[in-house]
Structure 1
Amino acid sequence: MVPSLFISHGAPTLAIEDNDYTQFLQNLGRRITPKAIVIFTAHWESEITTISFKDDVYETIYDFYGFPEELYMMKYPATGSISIASMVEEKLKIHDIPAKSDEKRGLDHGSWVVLQLLYPNADIPVVQVSVNPYLIPKEQFKIGEALRDLGEKDILVIGSGGTSHNLRMIKWGQTTPEPWTVAFDDWLVDHVQNRKLDSLFHYEKLAPNARLAVPRPEHIVPLFIAFGSGEENKQPKLLHRSYQFGTLSHIVFEF
């Protein structure tokens, strides 16, 4: 059995960095060895939950601009799995969650940046899934709940996004986090670890500095999905917390 994970994917440069966070992710991949991966990425938005349906190798998508040339040379040649994708689609539909398939889309950087650190050999089948940032947190949690038993089949559910993720307020080169970022994440960590779901589902109104930390919800949505897919009676674990550029949090939860 494997847990579910929420992983902050940070800036694309994470893929070529060597620091405490990248080393943590590499060690995490050695500890958790799934048979397959289902990853919800903040960089694929769709109104209806969309699932990658393919058995062949994914194209690596470079959905970012102005970064070092080294990043655009990287490949993550993971294969898909139509059988796992079909299982995901069936579970969602059983829970009255609309879903559709996509046979062409490659892996965006919300997926491959994380996966190449966790599983650099690209030898584990991957199913990529979109998010709808306009659903309320409770509905996002329900999407995760529909997939709750995948961990029992050694299928790792990952929500790839970010908690504090305000790109407009990034402080390049700053190594200490902004106080408002820390206050938001303090609140979030407490509510996740203690399963204060009713308040958590209304973080926009209740969490300090929520509008600053989460200017758009697409990066926090994978947190609710991963949370919902975890074990129902398990206390969530904060596995890692650090910051980059003042306002970009690197937080990892295990559910």
Structure 2
Amino acid sequence: MSTHLPSLFISHGPPTMVVDDLAANRRLKEIAEELPRPEAILCISAHWIEQAPNLTAAAEPETIHDYMGFPAELYRLSYPAPGAPGLAQRAAECLRATGIPARLDEVRGRDHGAWQTAMLMYPEADVPLIQLSLGGDLDPRRHYDIGRALAPLSGEGILVMATGTAVHNLRAWRQHRHETPAWARAFDDWLAATIEAGDLDALLDWRDEAPESRMAHPSEEHFTPLFVAAGAGGFGAGNPGRALHRGFEYGSLSMASFAFDAG
């Protein structure tokens, strides 16, 4: 019998995060040790957007270094965890069963939003890992519904793991590398309180409900993966999420991570 797993939203920092000494990194290692070992991971990263959901279906996906201008050591990193074509097909079936179109991509590798997070949690690269793209409209309700369609996988030993950043404003990050501004803390506090209250309506309407939402997220792609994790974990009234880690790194980037568990 497969173990039921919560779905996760994990905040990832810049590509240097994987080699930096951070409290968030140490916490990710602890989270992996606290969870039952997954059969495989389905990762939804902020760094892959398609018009309709796509799933990686390569047996041996490459490690994509989708960034520029960073130290040479980062381009030598590889994360050779196996793919899981069967899981990609199963996830596509779950999506299609609810009327959500899904396509298998047998060529694409893994972007750093997926592999650097997995590397910090499972450094032996022995847990199969596939990715699911975001949809092009970045609509909160649509992505929550995508998560709901994937919910059965959590009961099959699959870790549904979304990666983005709880507060992500790169322009402000360059200005606030050594301090955390009040607007970032205000949004981060609102997010944690909303998740811990199980307030789905407020979360879906975050642009209008959250303080400083435009400063915290000038664009939506690093926040949208959260809705997939929330949907997969059945987040809503009577089923709140919980914070796994909170804190800021690199000044204004929130590294908050959350678990959602309908089981």
User: So what's the TM-score if we normalise by structure 2?
Assistant: 0.93
Superimposed CA distance per residue, residues 169-197 of structure 1 (whole angstroms, 9 cap, x where no aligned partner): 11468343111001011111111111111
User: Which whole-Å CA distance do the structure 2 matches of 1:128 and 1:208 have between them?
Assistant: 31
Q: Distance in 1 between matches of 2:185 and 2:138?
A: 26
The whole-number CA distance in structure 2 between the counterparts of 1:133 and 1:13 is: 27
**Alignment of 1:38 onto 2:42:** yes
Structure 1: gaps of 5 or more residues: none
State whether residues 132 and 218 of structure 1, in contact with CA within 8 Å, keep that contact through their aligned partners in structure 2.
no
Q: Which residue of 1 aligns with 2:141?
A: 138
Amino acid aligned to 2:154 = G
Q: How does 1:1-255 map to 2 (within 5 A)?
A: 1-32=4-35, 33-55=37-59, 57-171=60-174, 174-231=177-234, 233-255=238-260
Q: Is the 8 A contact 1:3 1:231 kept in 2?
A: no
Q: Is the 8 A contact 2:148 2:234 kept in 1?
A: no
Matched residue pairs, number? 254
Question: Alignment partner of 1:6: what SS?
Answer: strand
User: Which amino acid letter does the alignment assign opposite residue 250 of structure 1?
Assistant: M
Structure 1 contact 133–218 (Cα < 8 Å) conserved? no
CA distance in 1, matches of 2:250, 2:175: 5
* Separation of aligned partners in 2, 1:135 and 1:222: 9
Shift of 1:231: 4.2
Q: Which runs of 5+ in 2 are unaligned?
A: none
Q: Closer, same or farther in 2 for the Cα pair 1:18/1:25, shift >3 Å?
A: same
Contact 2:52–2:136, Cα closer than 8 Å, also in 1: no
Contact (CA 8 Å) 2:63, 2:78: kept in 1 or not? yes
CA contact 1:171–1:245 (8 Å) conserved in 2? no
Deviations 1:117-142 (A, max 9, x none): 00011111111110025242111100
Distance in 1 (alpha carbons) for counterparts of 2:83 and 2:198: 33
Deviates more, 1:190-199 or 1:164-173: 164-173
Deviation track 1:47-86 (CA, whole Å, cap 9, x = no partner) reads 110001122x221111111111111111000111111111
Q: Which runs of 4+ in 1 moved over 2 A?
A: 171-176, 231-235
Are the aligned partners of 2:245 and 2:258 in contact in 1 as well (CA < 8 Å)?
yes
Report if the CA contact (8 A) 2:176-2:252 is conserved.
no
> Percent of aligned positions with the same letter in both sequences?
39
CA distance in 2, matches of 1:77, 1:173: 35
TM-score, length of structure 1 as denominator length: 0.96
Coordinate RMSD, CA, aligned:
1.4
